[in-house]
């Protein structure tokens, strides 16, 4: 839930006041620690940075982006990118431009998640210490991502090969079984098939949409019937 | 005949049923034409007493009129006229600076005089013109400034831009728009209308006057536009929370305002990946334009409407490629006429479609701006904002379009198919296909507006082909549309009475 003081700022013109920057910054920190997420507040902060570049704090920007990764496939990561300086995705020329480098690294992660390349996502995350630094502030980052990948899986499948899922969520052995049973509440059969309960999305039922007839459509007809001389 | 209102148009893009139903009712056009005339007439009736009703497009007439009137009042009238006059695209910097100062003093006068200003509006659409022109000049100034920084024209220009970083600043522009909204208590008034109450009791001293009311109202549309230009698509849609999007809405009375609103709403939806909602917005306004074409031909803004229509057809083509939907027949055929080749490529998908997406996006997107002055000392750091937005957009597009359409066309052929077999057809790795299927699934689920603010919505399946994985087995299902009989039945029943 969004705290009241944040809701008040968002509802009024205070959201443009550079002095609220620090309030939003603390709020981002709080989201990182408490595993919560508030997209609108974070976008408002990025907008303040957009208008007042001298107030920009690189670390807060990357934390916002990391939090946005944890809600994929929602478009939040892209929405944040749209508010960053236009040159942020340009190939960096100077070593000094650490923000651009960090943002581009996170963009790579986002693209991997969005395109379903989960194994590559974990490999990339492990490939560079910079990634570890970037996600360090976000408590439970790996688990949040795992849950999202599990949700994507449950959306499409009722049964999935254990090896495949192990690769996707980057877990093996007992840890894997624990996650699947406790967090996802799925079952494992014969040791190598993960069974996912039926939900709205993974059933693939053929439907026929029938037309919806409203009485209003007959109003002309009824009127005509009245007007007709008996 | 006319008693039957064209329901879909009346209610804007809101009804949950599809826009397609409009297509075959021949009464619509007549009904629509008559409501349009009514709207215009009632407008004139309302306004004749209060406003000067002539369209003062002719500057000579204007000058003559200004002379014939007396002291400050006529001076003011001339300034009001000037505020709505389009600025030449190639206007030099001094003119742009001067124009900014003019707007500042005009808005200052309107907002900060003692008590509300007693003014007669030159025309009833003046308020729209002035907000429209104000934002246009802000927009074109930012683009100009950015171009100067990148291309490095004259030192003189750079210096005067450096010296005036506050001119056409985004804070002052937003300040004007928000102040106009607050002065007229427009949000309270609109909320009252939504609740079905009389807005007048919330209007206050300022908001009850047409000058403030209209400026306040159109400032909301102005905000939608500014937020969109700055890349804040969520806030853009939230700005319209209080405005009822319908043909009866006030903005619908000024064609250019009606049109602009739907363009930016549709575009924002597209950037939020809510293609179904975007398609609905674009279709709504394009149908409206195509049906009322004959009225607009006499309109001075006809050219700009035509140009914006073309842009919307391009956006529509992209959205339909990303989220296949059956369009209204008229709209569909016009789209094919204008963008037939491109549309075919977009629909086919694959890497070949990507340049077409880029081309259409750049041709049809708003002229994005960066809110802050460019980096004068490092011209390489100044990127055109539209390139940045394009890059972000294309990353989204790539995901859905590279394999999506091909997968879909294969799935349609089967009720069940083995993953390995399909991978062989598509000539991709089995695991890659599995991932792509997950992406396909995600992309077929979209947030779609049902009720409430424009940003609200429910998660729905927008694809007619769906599937489920059971191990390596893909089970395919299709959403079919049953035969539609009621229309046919009604038509023939009516016929028996004749």
pLDDT reading at A197 higher than 80: yes
Identify the CA nearest to B101 among candidates B164, B190, B18: B164
Q: Do B272 and A75 touch (CB under 8 A)?
A: yes
What pLDDT, on a 0 to 100 scale, did the predictor assign at position A21?
92
Residue B266 has pLDDT above 80, yes or no: yes
Residue B25: what pLDDT?
35
The pTM (predicted TM-score) of the whole model is 0.83
Where is pLDDT greater, at B406 or B297? B406
A143 belongs to a structural domain: no
pLDDT for position B23: 32
Total domains, chain A: 2
Do A116 and A78 lie in one domain? The reply is: yes
Structure tokens at B33: 């034409």
Q: Write the burial class of residue B59 (CB in 10 Å: 0-12 exposed, 13-18 middle, 19+ buried).
A: exposed
Omega before A73 cis (within 30°)?
yes
Q: How confident is the model at residue A118 (pLDDT cuts 50, 70, 90)?
A: very high
Contact B283, B328 (CB under 8 A): yes
The pLDDT of residue A220 is above 70 = yes
Residues above pLDDT 90, as percent of chain A: 44
Residue B299 pLDDT grade (very low, low, confident, very high; cuts 50, 70, 90) = low
Sign of CA dihedral A44, A47, A53, A58: positive
Q: Are residues A120 and A198 in the same domain?
A: no
Highest mean pLDDT among A201-210, B5-14, B70-79: A201-210
Q: Helix, strand or coil for residue B306?
A: helix
Q: Give me B111's structure tokens.
A: 């907002």
**B306 contact A CB<8A:** no
Residue B72 has pLDDT above 70, yes or no: no
Residue of A46, A100, A118, A156 to mutate for B, most B C-beta atoms under 10 A: A156
What rounded mean pLDDT belongs to chain B? 77
Would the pLDDT of B46 be above 70?
no
Tell which residue, A5, A95, A22, A16, has the closest CA to residue A57. A22
What is the secondary structure of B230-256 as a DSSP string? TT-HHHHHHHGGGS--STTSGGGGSHH
Regarding whether A20 and A112 lie in a shared domain, the answer is yes
The percent of chain A in helix, strand and coil, each rounded to the nearest 5, is 65, 5, 30
What is residue B461's three-state secondary structure?
strand
Note the pLDDT tens digit of each residue in B237-252: 998 887 777 666 666 6
Whether residue A117 is found in the same domain as residue A186: no
Final residue belonging to a domain, choices A138, A167, A183:
A138
Whole-number pLDDT of residue B53 = 32
Ranking A66-80, A115-129, A201-215 by mean pLDDT, the lowest is A201-215
Phi and psi at B12, nearest 5°, equal 65, -155
* Residue B58 burial (10 A CB sphere; 0-12, 13-18, 19+): exposed
| B:233-252 residues touching chain A, CB 8 A cutoff | 233-235
Residue-level pLDDT at B79: 73
CB pairs under 8 A between A and B: 166
CA gap B301, B16 in Å, rounded = 32
Distance CA B165, CA B175 (A): 16
Contact assessment for residue B366 and residue B228, using Cβ atoms and an 8 Å cutoff = yes
Question: Which residues lie closer than 8 Å to B165 by C-beta, 6 or more apart?
Answer: B373
Task: Please report the sign of the dihedral spanned by the C-alpha atoms of residue B109, residue B112, residue B116, residue B121.
Answer: positive
Residue A104, in any domain of the structure: yes
For residue B57, pLDDT beyond 80: no
- Confidence grade of residue B304 (pLDDT, cut at 50, 70, 90): confident
Instruction: Assign B26 a pLDDT band (cuts: 50, 70, 90).
Output: very low
Helices of type H across B166-301:
170-183, 186-195, 200-207, 210-229, 233-239, 255-271, 275-291, 293-296
**B403-497 fold:** Arc Repressor Mutant, subunit A (1.10.10)
* In the predicted structure, residue B234 carries a pLDDT above the cut 90: yes
A34 touches chain B (CB under 8 A): no
Contact B395 A114 (CB under 8 A): yes
CB of A5 within 8 Å of a chain B CB? The answer is: no
CB-closest option in A51, A205, A206 to B171: A51
Together in a domain, A91 and A179: no
Residues A125 and A202 in one domain: no
Q: How many CB atoms lie within 10 A of CB B44?
A: 12
Whether residue A218 lies inside any domain: the answer is yes
What is the pLDDT, as a whole number, of residue A46?
A: 94
Instruction: State the CB neighbour count (10 A cutoff) for residue B402.
Output: 18
Q: What is the spatial distance between Cα B269 and Cα B446, in angstroms, rounded to a whole number?
A: 11
Among the ranges given (B23-27, B97-101, B147-151, B421-425), the one the predictor scored with the smallest mean pLDDT: B23-27
Average pLDDT value for residue range B191-201: 79
* Same domain membership, residue A172 and residue A120: no
Residues A35 and A119 in one domain: yes
First to last CA, chain B: 14
Q: Is pLDDT above 80 for A72? A: yes
Q: Tell me whether residues A47 and B232 touch, CB distance under 8 A.
A: yes
- On whether both A118 and A91 belong to a single domain, the answer is yes
Alpha-carbon distance B311 to B314, whole Å? 5
ipTM of the complex: 0.89
CATH of the domain at A179: 1.10.10
Residues A81, A128, single domain; the answer is yes
Domain boundary among A106, A138, A170: A138
pLDDT tens, position by position, A93-111: 665 678 888 999 999 999 9
Looking at the predicted structure, is the pLDDT value of residue B364 above 90? yes
The most confident of the ranges B68-72, B268-272, B398-402, B480-484 is B268-272
pLDDT of residue A143: 92
Q: What average pLDDT score do residues B200-220 get?
A: 81
Show the tokens assigned to A159: 């049964």
pLDDT of residue B21: 33
Is there a domain that residue A230 lies in?
Answer: yes
Q: How far is CA A105 from the centre of its chain?
A: 17
Q: Where are the alpha helices (DSSP H) in B13-92?
A: 27-48, 59-68, 71-83
Position with higher pLDDT, B22 vs B363: B363
Average pLDDT over residues B310-330: 91
pLDDT confidence band for B362 (50 / 70 / 90): very high
Residue among B407, B436, B370 nearest A50 (CA)? B370
Q: Is the pLDDT of residue B36 over 50?
A: no
Banded model confidence at residue B356, pLDDT cuts 50, 70, 90: very high
For residue A35, give its domain range.
Answer: 1-138
Q: Could you tell me the CA-to-CA distances from B272 to A62, A77, B281, B442 in Å, in that order?
A: 21, 11, 14, 14
Distance between CA B225 and CA B173 in Å, rounded? 12
**Rounded to whole angstroms, how far apart are CA atoms B176 and B111?**
9
- pLDDT surpasses 90 at A199: no
Chain A (122-151) residues lying within 8 Å, Cβ to Cβ, of chain B: none
Is B2 in the A-facing interface, judged by CB distances under 8 Å? no
| Angstrom distance (rounded) from CA B68 to CA B52 | 15
Find how far residue B167's CA is from the centre of its chain. Answer: 27
Q: Quickly state the pLDDT bin for B451 (edges 50, 70, 90).
A: confident
Only one residue has tokens 């009245």, namely A226
By the CB < 8 Å criterion, does A204 face chain B?
Answer: yes
A140 burial type by CB count under 10 A (0-12 exposed, 13-18 middle, 19+ buried): middle
The share of chain B scoring above pLDDT 90, in percent, equals 19
- Residue of chain B whose Cα is closest to the Cα of A155: B441
pLDDT of residue B311: 93
A86 touches chain B (CB under 8 A): yes
CATH of the domain at A88: 1.25.40.250
Q: What is the pLDDT of residue B6?
A: 34
Closest to A57 (Cα-Cα) out of A93, A89, A12, A27:
A27
- What does the pLDDT read at residue B34? 37
Q: Which of B236, B214, B278 is nearest to B462 (CA)?
A: B278
- Nearest chain A residue to B479 by CA: give it: A207
A93 and A173 co-located in one domain = no
Tokens standing for B327? 């369009």
- Interface probe with A: pick from B26, B28, B182, B234, most Cβ of A within 10 Å: B234
- With CB atoms and an 8 Å threshold, state whether A116 touches B431: no
Grade residue A150 by pLDDT with cuts at 50, 70 and 90.
very high
Residues A53 and A106 in one domain: yes
A37 band by pLDDT with thresholds 50, 70 and 90: very high
Determine the Cα–Cα distance for residues B211 and B200; give it in Å rounded to an integer.
14
Residue A63 has pLDDT above 90, yes or no: yes
| A177: in domain | yes
The count of other CB atoms within 10 Å of the CB of residue A153 is 25
Q: Does B6 touch chain A (CB under 8 A)?
A: no
């Amino acid at each position: 839930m969004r705290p009241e003081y944040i809701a008040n700022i968002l509802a009024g013109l205070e959201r443009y006041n550079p002095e609220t920057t620090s309030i939003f910054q603390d709020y981002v920190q709080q989201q990182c620690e408490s595993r919560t997420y508030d997209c609108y507040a974070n976008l408002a902060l990025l907008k303040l940075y957009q208008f007042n570049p001298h107030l920009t704090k690189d670390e807060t920007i990357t934390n916002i982006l990391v939090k946005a990764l944890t809600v994929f496939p929602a478009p939040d990561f892209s929405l944040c990118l749209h508010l960053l300086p236009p040159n942020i995705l340009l190939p960096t020329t100077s070593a000094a431009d650490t923000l651009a480098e960090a943002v581009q690294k996170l963009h790579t992660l986002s693209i991997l998640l969005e395109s379903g390349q989960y194994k590559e996502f974990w490999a990339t995350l492990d490939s560079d210490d910079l990634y570890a630094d970037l996600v360090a502030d976000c408590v439970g980052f790996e688990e949040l991502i795992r849950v999202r990948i599990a949700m994507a899986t449950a959306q499409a499948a009722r049964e999935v090969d254990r090896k495949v899922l192990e690769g996707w969520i980057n877990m093996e052995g007992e840890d894997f079984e624990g996650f699947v049973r406790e967090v996802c509440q799925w079952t494992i059969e014969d040791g190598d098939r993960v069974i996912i309960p039926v939900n709205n999305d993974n059933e693939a039922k053929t439907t026929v949409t029938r037309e919806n007839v409203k009485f209003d459509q007959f109003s002309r007809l009824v009127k005509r019937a009245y007007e007709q001389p008996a | 005949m006319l008693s039957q209102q064209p329901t879909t148009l009346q209610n804007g893009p809101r009804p949950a049923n599809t826009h397609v139903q409009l297509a075959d009712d021949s009464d619509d056009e007549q009904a629509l034409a008559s409501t349009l005339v009514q709207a215009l007439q009632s407008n004139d009736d309302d306004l004749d007493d209060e406003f000067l009703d002539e369209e003062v497009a002719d500057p000579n007439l204007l000058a003559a009129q200004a002379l014939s009137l007396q002291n400050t009042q006529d001076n003011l009238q001339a300034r009001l006229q000037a505020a709505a006059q389009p600025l030449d695209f190639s206007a030099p910097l001094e003119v742009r600076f001067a124009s900014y100062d003019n707007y500042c003093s005009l808005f200052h006068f309107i907002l900060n005089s003692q008590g509300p200003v007693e003014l007669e509006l030159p025309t009833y659409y003046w308020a729209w013109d002035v907000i429209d022109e104000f934002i246009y000049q802000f927009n074109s100034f930012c683009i100009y400034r950015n171009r100067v920084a990148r291309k490095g024209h004259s030192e003189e220009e750079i210096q005067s831009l450096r010296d005036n970083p506050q001119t056409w600043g985004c804070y002052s522009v937003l300040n004007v728009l928000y102040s106009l909204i607050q002065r007229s208590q427009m949000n309270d008034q609109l909320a009252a209308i939504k609740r079905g109450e009389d807005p007048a009791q919330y209007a206050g001293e300022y908001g009850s006057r047409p000058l403030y009311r209209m400026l306040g109202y159109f400032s909301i549309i102005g905000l939608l536009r500014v937020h969109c230009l700055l890349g804040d698509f969520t806030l853009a849609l939230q700005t319209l929370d209080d405005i009822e999007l319908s043909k009866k809405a006030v903005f619908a009375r000024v064609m250019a305002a009606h049109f602009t609103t739907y363009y930016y709403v549709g575009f924002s939806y597209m950037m939020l990946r809510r293609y179904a909602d975007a398609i609905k917005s674009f279709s709504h306004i394009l149908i409206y334009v195509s049906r009322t074409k004959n009225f607009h031909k006499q309109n001075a803004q006809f050219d700009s409407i035509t140009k914006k229509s073309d842009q919307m057809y391009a956006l529509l083509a992209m959205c339909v490629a990303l989220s296949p939907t059956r369009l209204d027949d008229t709209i569909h055929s016009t789209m094919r006429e204008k963008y037939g080749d491109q549309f075919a490529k977009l629909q086919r998908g694959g890497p070949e479609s990507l340049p077409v997406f880029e081309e259409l996006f750049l041709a049809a997107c708003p002229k994005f701006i960066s809110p802050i002055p460019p980096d004068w000392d490092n011209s390489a750091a100044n990127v055109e904002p539209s390139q940045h937005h394009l890059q972000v957009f294309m990353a989204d597009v790539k995901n859905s379009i590279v394999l999506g359409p091909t997968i879909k066309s294969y799935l349609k052929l089967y009720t069940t198919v083995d993953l390995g077999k399909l991978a062989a057809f598509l000539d991709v790795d089995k695991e890659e296909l599995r991932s792509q299927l997950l992406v396909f699934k995600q992309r077929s689920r979209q947030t779609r507006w049902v009720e409430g603010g424009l940003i609200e919505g429910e998660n729905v399946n927008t694809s007619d082909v769906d599937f489920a994985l059971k191990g390596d087995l893909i089970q395919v299902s299709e959403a079919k549309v049953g035969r539609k009989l009621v229309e046919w039945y009604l038509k023939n029943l009516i016929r028996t009475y004749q």
